[in-house]
Amino acid sequence: MSVQINLDVMLAKRKMKSNELAKLIGITEQNLSILKTGKARAIRISTLSLICRHLNCQPGDILEYLDDGKDIRDEI
Amino acid sequence: MQNANLQNISVIKKISSRLRLICNIIFFLTPIMTIFYWSFYNHLPNEYQYAIVRQYLQTNYLPLITRVLCAAIMMIPGVIIMLASKYLIELFRLYENNVFFSPNNVTYMEKLGKIVIIWAFMDIIVGTLLVLAISFNNPPGQRYLSIGVGSFQLSSLLIGYIIVLFSKIMDEARIINEEQQYTV
């Protein structure tokens, strides 16, 4: 089971580049890349709030739950 | 707070660099000093000679074959010291490069703990072998076998287990560090 972050889709809809969003929310491009590639273990509420503000969307627009049959505890 | 953090890292880097140098010296000097010591054993002042030699030998003079045997036996703890130095060198190198909680840190610390535990047991065996080698050339009936366990072996064992425990704690720190690295 995992929560997927569909940042690419929202960035394309808002016609915004990753580096622009990274600068706006005050994180490095590498950190944003960690989010986009699904390597993130956790996301701060503050970061999620800033993403939603600058992409003008709801958390549910970028977060998607997928049941892939794996236990997330095994990945930690 | 950031200044304090930078200062801390600077201190860690400085101390790790010095300790790595010391460990490098120990690593290279250990075999050299072992061979040097037993080569010139018969010419050393009494206070630098092993007390057990005088205890188990008829004379204070060690023949060449005995000195070669003793040197070989003393290379057993020598190799252990060299291995421990090697692990410490790698650990301090990681600290110098600001790597504190990586899997490699955990591995080297665990190996260091295990080698100290092995040292505690090997010290008992080495002591026995040394007495055997020294008294081997004695006349029949005057050859000795001695097995001793002292505070050194027990404290080495305790320290080894404590280091292994620290490595497990460091592994927990590694997990927390990785969680933090992948928290956006």
Residue-wise pLDDT tens digits, A10-58: 999 999 999 999 999 999 999 999 988 888 888 999 999 999 999 999 9
Taking the CB of residue A33, how many other CB atoms lie within 10 A of it? 15
Predicted TM-score of the model (pTM): 0.80
Residue B183: which of A32, A44, A76 has the nearest Cβ?
A44
CB-CB under 8 Å, B175 with A41? no
Q: What residues make up the domain containing B136?
A: 2-181
Q: What is the 3-state secondary structure (H, E, C) of chain B?
A: CHHHHHHHHHHHHHHHHHHHHHHHHHHHHHHHHHHHHHHCHHHCCHHHCCHHHHHHCCCCCCCHHHHHHHHHHHHHHHHHHHHHHHHHHHHHHHHHCCCCCCHHHHHHHHHHHHHHHHHHHHHHHHHHHHHHHHHCCCCCCCCCCCCCCCHHHHHHHHHHHHHHHHHHHHHHHHHHHHHHHCEC
Confidence of residue A70 (pLDDT cuts 50, 70, 90): low
Q: Does A27 touch chain B (CB under 8 A)?
A: yes
Number of domains in chain B: 1
Instruction: Name the more confident of B138 and A33.
Output: A33
Instruction: Name the more confident of A38 and B76.
Output: B76
Structure tokens at B115: 């080698």
Give the distance from residue B182's alpha carbon to the nearest chain A alpha carbon, in angstroms.
5
Residue A5 bridge partners (DSSP): A63
